[in-house]
Amino acid sequence: MGVDRPPFRRPGHVKLALEYGIDVLWIGARTTVNPFAVQEIADALQNTDKIVLVKNPVNPDLALWIGGVERLYNAGIKKLGVIHRGFSTYEKTKYRNIPEWQIAIELQSRFPDLPLIIDPSHITGRRDMIQEVSQQALDLNYDGLIIETHTDPDNAWSDAAQQVTPTVLKKMFEDLKVKKTTVEEDGYNTEMIKLRANIDIYDSKILEILGNRMKISEQIGSLKKINNVAVLQNKRWNEILGKMILEGEQKGLSEEFILKMFKAIHQESITHQEKIINKH
């Protein structure tokens, strides 16, 4: 049973759930953002032996997620877990709710014994991406999956685009690969798989950020074209480069690397602007 209702109804729903023997409850993303609402639920669940799962807050705020878990734990609830369902964003991305994997990874590192479950249906919003995100989660040692299924997804009353048929779900489970370790292993391979999966996530994020940066460069190109302004602005470029070198050093990045990276980015930006300016 999910608990994600107006505040004055939440304790009542929790009481009914417990009276009727519900085995698992979860707190919805819109409720996790409200510490007062979470506390109300924690009070209503005081010392329960039921399983309680906490969805990540709608906004990418790790502190709110941790706070929700701690309020429930302090209420004597021991069977706790969390659900990663992605985060809302004003930017247009390929996801319905962007994963922000690093937030879930940070939560996992702080609470290594807390079961972490992925909800790829809500993250993707698209049935054709569910397997990809599910595999990413398994590669990051998630403990479980929540996948929406329907015998006739296109005619489902809600979230039709993100639901799969039972047949597709079965095939998905057959194709997903769970990384296993044996007693004889020293843990190297398992840790390497996790670290490389993290690298893949950040590399994809870098490409997405660079793509968005180039879109802004094209807008700048259009503005320069209208006002008959030259593409190359040396003063602005030198200011950016100096600032990035200083910030890079603070993050442990060498000046040589920063120079190479931002020269490449700058050149790509110029190329995008020139295409706009020279377009007839």
Lowest mean pLDDT among 32-46, 121-135, 187-201: 187-201
The pLDDT, as a whole number, for residue 7 is 44
Whether the predicted pLDDT of 15 surpasses 80? yes
SS in 3 state form for 174-217? HHCCCCCCCCCCCCHHHHHHHHHHHHHHHHHHHHHHHHHHHHHH
pLDDT number for residue 222: 92
Q: Give the residue from 70, 85, 73 showing the smallest Cα distance to 142.
A: 85
| Structure token pair of residue 196 | 């490389």
Q: Which range scores top for mean pLDDT: 11-15, 35-39, 180-184, 274-278?
A: 35-39
> What does DSSP assign to residue 57?
P
Q: Which tokens go with 218? A: 């094209």
Instruction: Encode pLDDT of 209-252 as tens digits.
Output: 999 999 999 999 899 889 988 888 888 888 888 899 999 999 99
Give the pLDDT band (50/70/90) at residue 6: very low
What is the pTM (predicted TM-score) of this model? 0.70
How close are the terminal C-alpha atoms of the chain, in Å?
Answer: 59
**Which residues are CB-contacts of 184 (< 8 A; sequence separation ≥ 6)?**
none
In this prediction, residues 128-145 reach a mean pLDDT of: 94
- Between 101-105, 114-118, 181-185, 192-196, the lowest mean confidence (pLDDT) is in 181-185
Residue 93 pLDDT class (50, 70, 90 cuts): confident
User: Quick check: 105 pLDDT over 50?
Assistant: yes
CA 57 to chain centre: 11
* 70 phi/psi in degrees, rounded to 5: -65, -35
State how far the alpha carbon of 187 is from the alpha carbons of 177, 181, 193, 210, 220, in Å.
18, 8, 10, 35, 50
Torsion over CA of 104, 86, 101 and 204, rounded to 10 degrees? 180
Question: Rounded to whole angstroms, what are the CA distances from 202 to 96, 135, 153, 206?
Answer: 19, 16, 32, 6
CB 45 within 8 A of CB 77: yes
Residue 256 has pLDDT above 90, yes or no: no
Is 8's pLDDT higher than 60?
no
Three-state secondary structure call for residue 80:
strand
Please give the mean pLDDT across all residues of the chain: 89
